[in-house]
Amino acid sequence: MSELLTTTGAYPATTFLIGLILAGVPALYLFVTSRRAHRRLREHAERLSMHRRNQSIVEGSGEGLLELDSAGMVLYANPAAAKMLGYSPEELPGLDYRILIDTHEDEDTRDPVRKTRHTTDMMRGVGALLRRKNGQYRPVEYRILPVTERGVSVGTILVFRDVTERVRLDHLLKDLQMTARIGGWEYDVQSGNTHWTEALYAICGLSLDHPVKFDSLRERFDRAEQDRLDAAVKKAMDSGAETDMHLPFMRASGRQYWARVIIKGERRGRQTVRLHGTVQDVTDLVVAERQLRETRDFFELTLNAVPIPIDYVDRDFIVTYANRALEEWLGRPRSELIGRSACDVLDAESVAKIRPHLPTVFRGETVYMRQSGMRNEVICEWENHLVPQLDTHGVVMGFFHIVYDLTEQKRLEAHLLQSQKMEAIGQLTGGIAHDFNNLLGIVIGNLQLLERSVAQTPALARKVHTAMRAAVRGADLTRRLLAFARREILDPAVLDLNRQLSGLSELMQRTLGDSIEVRMDQAPGLWHTQADAGQFENAILNLAINARDAMPQGGRLTVRTENTTLDALFCADHPRVEPGEFVSISVSDTGIGIDREVLQRVFEPFFTTKESGKGSGLGLAMVHGFAEQAGGVATIESLPGAGTTVRILLPRCHEEHLDYVDTIVTKIAPGGTETILVVEDDADLRETAATALGQLGYRTLTAANAAAALRILSREDEIIDLLFTDVMMPGGMLGPALAKRARELRPKIGVLFTTGYAENAVLAGTVELISADIIIKPYRNEDLAMRIRHVLDREMHVA
């Protein structure tokens, strides 16, 4: 180590002595270097090495880099910059950077490159456009770094990045926010600066130049919502925790909307440095949810009101809905049904029926299947409907399982079939009874004529009496048939059935014998009813006789009366009656009872369980017909070994006047000398009636039809006091029309009708015209004489 003396002073120096042989001649060289020169040399080498490393980094960088001189001319461009600009690296040096990048700052005083001449700080910029060689523009963000030597600006490094994709995404996000009405906001805690996105301005109904602060959003809400917002802000400030809530808010126009507000904090260490969040206009969603909820509530109410069991099963065979009717059907609360597999909800038989049809259902087809089984100890039949539910793409999401209980329908169908069967039998028996009435009328009339002729011959008289008894029994059978067919002419009266039964009790006890106890259970204050007293007593006596036959070893017969009200459920099984107030008369025995199969047929005519010769099979048929013809209904209940109860229900009558009818009438055959016109299409019956009236002293004229009768009535020289005519006659003119014409010709003439059954009288209008002046076939001569005399005497009294 030595010193080097120079004109400016002495400096530390290093001396090297090196011996060399040059061209065969020895030489000695002295190298003296200063430390300062040595250091500079080393530093230059290091800078060169670093430059090479930086050069390698710059050239391999994905960001564009332009080295500019103090005038903004390009000195150097890395490959990335050349590629983005569309130039070769050799074309860029010497170009003004403002040709390549538009920073939107035209004035020199605002030129960011010029600004760097007066600062050493790095500058950043966004929103600049890169102008490519082909004229296209691309958005870039840039950084400008000043280059200085000894504190003097000698150039600039301009680094830029292509942000085309990011700008596209930003625009897309902004569009999405505007479309979804989601606005963003942030608040810098340290600076107090608040930033809103464009969508938030739009949501609040504010222009983009409207100044905003942290409380600007808060002011859009009412006081109650402001308290919730304050609590959410405090929560975010304290811990950074997020709050998500739905609040009503007010737009600048004063219109109320709904918003979903999210508030959360950004923490650095133990401090919250930034609050940010979103505000989404969810008015449509809230309204839609409310409408959906109302619709769901409406359908829930509707489905629960429907008396049809319904459940919904999803693709996993899980029950997700069940109405109240299904609860009742299964006998389990919905809490035990919803959310469980249909295998656990439905009975095993139903599941076994449904499973094979699931592939069909999930193809979108509706499936129907019938099923029967025991429910509540009753044999039931129902139909399962599997109705698929499809989404908007036609994919089956699940299916509705609807249960239609057919038990009641089947029962009503059976009841209707039975009613139709009984009606058909009634039509048949009524027609037969009508024909028999005409025949029996001839037989009875002629037997009565014979009685007078053979009165002095006992042997013949006995034969006539025997024949008369048989004819009367036949007439009784036809009356029962007509009662069943509801075609018998009734004489309805306002009755107190307790009073009518009191007159029957002694007769019933004598009829039933000492082995059977007769008990009368009569309700006090029994309502009145309107019925034919004779038919009522016949019905009760028939029931008493049936009860006696059911108690061969003796027992107890109870006749009970009571007031009752029939409801719609009862009337659904008995369609001939309507809900209302009725008088009930039940006849109960302690006999052997009737099994279910036989019970269904007991009201059929000629059906009997008694041995041959012990019953006609018309007793209960007559009771059934009487009850229905009186506007009521007859029912029967029985179990083998537990006795039988037959109940007659007759409509209540509000009339207070009672007609006590004594059914025991002494019959005397009065006669007369008046002239009677007999009109009857049956020649034998016409002759019999005329003969019987002749024997009573009357003068008779006869006609086979209405036309012949009118010819006789038109004779001015003929005196006719009474017209005795059948209701139904051939030739087009019925009895009522004939009577009307007869009274036009002879105003003082009396009229008496005859008919075989009630339907003819109703069809012809007789009941409405003169319902009291009618006699039913077959009639005894005494009955005819009394009725003839009654009409004649009345007409004479009126005259």
**CATH superfamily of the 490-653 domain:** Histidine kinase-like ATPase, C-terminal domain (3.30.565.10)
Residues 732, 727: Cα–Cα separation, whole Å: 12
Class of domain 167-286: alpha beta
The predicted structure's pLDDT at residue 481: 59
Q: Note every long-range contact of 28-33, with CB atoms under 8 Å and residues 24 or more positions apart, other chains counting.
A: 32/4
The predicted structure's pLDDT at residue 775: 83
Q: Of all residues in the chain, what percent carry a pLDDT higher than 90?
A: 15
- Return the residue matching tokens 């600048």: 252
Helix (H, G, I), strand (E, B) or coil at 690: helix
Q: Give the pLDDT band (50/70/90) at residue 662.
A: very low
Q: Give the pLDDT band (50/70/90) at residue 400.
A: very high
651, 678 contact by CB (below 8 A): no
Average pLDDT over residues 159-174: 77
pLDDT tens by residue, 473-520: 666 666 655 554 444 555 677 888 888 888 777 777 777 777 888 888
pLDDT tens by residue, 593-635: 888 777 777 777 666 666 544 555 566 777 887 888 788 888 8
Q: What is the mean pLDDT of the chain?
A: 78
Residues 718, 724: Cα–Cα separation, whole Å: 16
All residues at 6 or more sequence positions from 242 whose CB lies less than 8 Å from its CB, including other chains: 236, 262, 263, 264
Report residue 629 as tokens.
């013809």
Average pLDDT over residues 727-741: 86
Lowest mean per-residue pLDDT among 253-262, 296-305, 374-383, 777-786: 374-383
Q: Could you tell me which CATH number the domain at 61-162 has? A: 3.30.450.20
Q: Give the pLDDT band (50/70/90) at residue 712.
A: very high
Asked, as a colleague might, if the bond just before 778 is cis with ω within 30 of 0, I would say: yes
The predicted structure's pLDDT at residue 31: 47
Concatenated DSSP letters of 53-91: HHHHHHHH-SSEEEEEETTSBEEEE-HHHHHHHT--TTT
pLDDT at 759 over 80: no
The predicted structure's pLDDT at residue 722: 94
Residues 739, 1: Cα–Cα separation, whole Å: 173
The predicted structure's pLDDT at residue 607: 62
pLDDT tens by residue, 320-347: 889 998 888 888 898 888 888 888 888 8
The predicted structure's pLDDT at residue 378: 73
All residues at 6 or more sequence positions from 601 whose CB lies less than 8 Å from its CB, including other chains: 607
pLDDT tens by residue, 69-95: 888 889 999 999 999 999 988 899 999
All residues at 6 or more sequence positions from 214 whose CB lies less than 8 Å from its CB, including other chains: 187, 192, 194
Q: Of all residues in the chain, what percent carry a pLDDT higher than 70?
A: 76
Residues 199, 205: Cα–Cα separation, whole Å: 10
Average pLDDT over residues 216-220: 82
Q: Give the pLDDT band (50/70/90) at residue 430.
A: low
Helix (H, G, I), strand (E, B) or coil at 772: coil
Lowest mean per-residue pLDDT among 289-298, 412-421, 729-738: 412-421
The predicted structure's pLDDT at residue 723: 95
Q: Give the pLDDT band (50/70/90) at residue 772.
A: very low
The predicted structure's pLDDT at residue 595: 80
291, 298 contact by CB (below 8 A): no
Distances (CA, A) of 641 to 589, 590, 688: 11, 8, 52
Lowest mean per-residue pLDDT among 155-159, 293-297, 446-450, 577-581: 446-450
Concatenated DSSP letters of 112-174: HHHHGGG--S-EEEEEEEEE-TTS-EEEEEEEEEEEEETTEEEEEEEEEEE-HHHHHHHHHHH
pLDDT at 26 over 60: no
Terminus-to-terminus CA distance in the chain, angstroms? 183
The predicted structure's pLDDT at residue 179: 59
Q: Give the pLDDT band (50/70/90) at residue 109.
A: very low
Cite the beta strand spans of 310-354 per DSSP E: 310-314, 319-322
| Cα 398 from chain centroid (whole Å) | 18
689, 704 contact by CB (below 8 A): no
Write b or e for each residue in 700-711: b if 16 or more Cβ atoms lie within 10 A of its Cβ, otherwise e.
Answer: bbbbbbbeebbe
Q: Which of 194, 126, 633 is nearest to 415 (CA)?
A: 633
Residues 282, 180: Cα–Cα separation, whole Å: 9
All residues at 6 or more sequence positions from 336 whose CB lies less than 8 Å from its CB, including other chains: none
Concatenated DSSP letters of 668-687: -------EEEEE-SSHHHHH
* 519 or 412, which is more confident: 519
- What crossing angle do the helices spanning 619-629 and 533-549 adopt, rounded to 10°? 150
Q: What is the widest separation between alpha-carbon atoms in the chain?
A: 208
Which one-letter amino acid corresponds to residue 94? G
Concatenated DSSP letters of 596-662: HHHHTTTTSTT---SPTTS--S-HHHHHHHHHHHTT-EEEEEE-TTS-EEEEEEEEEE---------
pLDDT at 153 over 80: no
Sheet of strand 378-390, all strands in order from the earlier edge strand to the far edge:
319-322, 310-314, 396-405, 378-390, 367-375
Average pLDDT over residues 695-704: 91
All residues at 6 or more sequence positions from 92 whose CB lies less than 8 Å from its CB, including other chains: 66, 74, 77, 81, 82, 85, 100
Would you mind telling me the total number of residues written for the chain in this entry? 799
Which one-letter amino acid corresponds to residue 470? A
Degrees to nearest 5, angle at CA 471 with 469 and 473: 70
pLDDT at 752 over 60: yes
Domain ranges across the chain: 1-60, 61-162, 167-286, 306-405, 490-653, 675-798
The predicted structure's pLDDT at residue 57: 54
The predicted structure's pLDDT at residue 388: 93
- Return the residue matching tokens 């009829």: 511
Ranked by mean pLDDT, the top range of 215-219, 572-576, 700-704 is: 700-704
**CATH superfamily of the 675-798 domain:** Response regulator (3.40.50.2300)
pLDDT at 771 over 50: no
Helix (H, G, I), strand (E, B) or coil at 1: coil
Same CATH topology for 61-162 and 675-798? Answer: no
* 57 or 543, which is more confident: 543
Neighbours of 332 (CB within 10 A): 13
Residues 628, 334: Cα–Cα separation, whole Å: 46
Class of domain 306-405: alpha beta
pTM above 0.85, yes or no: no
The predicted structure's pLDDT at residue 24: 52
Ranked by mean pLDDT, the top range of 116-130, 285-299, 354-368, 398-412 is: 354-368
Neighbours of 263 (CB within 10 A): 24
Q: Which of 545, 528, 793 is nearest to 658 (CA)?
A: 528
